[in-house]
Chains A and B, each alone.
Chain A
Amino acid sequence: MVSAATVTDSDYTFTGQPSGKTLKVEIISANDAGQAQPSVTAEIVVP
């Protein structure tokens, strides 16, 4: 996994991903105290 972005809203749009490839995504919530464990990994085939 590589970092794609850090956001404050609970959504994000990936663009320019390779069509036909499987994209796996994880989210880590964070605050000034630190980070939570990663979310369950979700995956989808990029259109």
Chain B
Amino acid sequence: MASNLLPSGLQDLFTLAEDMADGLHGHEVAVGVKQNTEAAFRADLTAAITAQTNHVAAQTAKVALSTAVTVADSNGKAFISTARNVLATYLGNGYSQAWDATGFPDQSTAVPGTQAKRQALLQALQSYFTATPAQENPPLNITAARAGQLFTALSDARSAANDGNTDAGQKKNTRDAAEKTLRNRMSGLVGELGQLLDANDPLWLAFGLNQPGATNLPDVADSLILTVGGTGTVLADWSDASRATRYRVFKQVVGVCYHGFRRHRDR
């Protein structure tokens, strides 16, 4: 017996839902559908498609925002590295207490290993160079103003990325809920049709569904047409058969004896 399991993939689900909605458009009244009408069905389908579109857009935006964080952080790293070299001429190469005022963390003059510490250091360097402008190096763009710019850029980028992650998560939840609603609607329509249509009624097909009473075997291939091509060439073309996933092609040249003769009905 043929089943009407819903597709697991969203695109296939939306395609089937569109077919079902079209079936409702043409046959809702004649069949007597009352619970899962075209209006209700299309509302759920549109909501699900919109939610999926919004989710994909949010995912795309999330990637772009993450890239922006990487760029801002990279710029910050470069500044910190150069600033360290500039400050070394005043404070010495290795760490000493004199470095504490600069904000370099963990009693080290190395570029901090985490993004959070690098962001904090940029803000600390802004304060440090503001307090000690003599140690700025404008030709190398090692200034309080530049440190402030980079801190703000990184902070804003991280904030935007966090917002993007939140938005993507919310959009996913909305999409999942809309998908669940649509699936319930589709299952509901299959159930309602089951009460209204005979299991072998061809009207099932108008909704893009299988006839529950039909076999799972494919339909017979029909409309087979042969056309001559070039010398020794013949083109065969036929109509797609429902539920067929492949076609076995058989031939016989009249007057030619085939060794190893095999009838096609031997399955």
Contact = CB atoms under 8 A, between A and B. Distances in A.
Interface string B201-229: 00000000000000111111110111111
Contacts of A28: 221, 247-248, 250, 264
Main DSSP-derived SS at the A contact region = strand
Given A39-B224, A40-B224, A6 B248 contact: yes
Contacts, number: 190
A32 B255 CA distance: 35
Contacts of A45: 228
A44 B253 CA distance: 10
Interface size class of A (residues with CB under 8 A): 35 or more
Interface residues of B, number: 48
A13 B219 CA distance: 22
A10 B247 contact: yes
Contact of B253 (A5, A8, A18, A35): A18
Contacts of B235: 11-14
Determine which residue in B219, B226, B236, B254 has the highest number of CB atoms from chain A within 10 A of its CB, and name it: B236
Contacts of A10: 221, 237-241, 247
Contact of B226 (A7, A32, A36, A44): A44
Given A6-B246, A39-B224, A27 B236 contact: yes
A43 to B, nearest CB: 7
Determine which residue in B230, B237, B251, B254 has the highest number of CB atoms from chain A within 10 A of its CB, and name it: B251
B261 interface: yes
Interface string A1-38: 11111111111111111110111111111111111111
A32 B243 CA distance: 10
Closest 4 CB pairs of A and B: A29-B244, A29-B241, A33-B216, A1-B250
Interface of A: 1-19, 21-40, 42-47
13 contacts: A1-B252, A10-B239, A12-B236, A23-B226, A23-B234, A26-B264, A30-B244, A31-B217, A39-B220, A39-B224, A44-B234, A47-B228, A47-B230
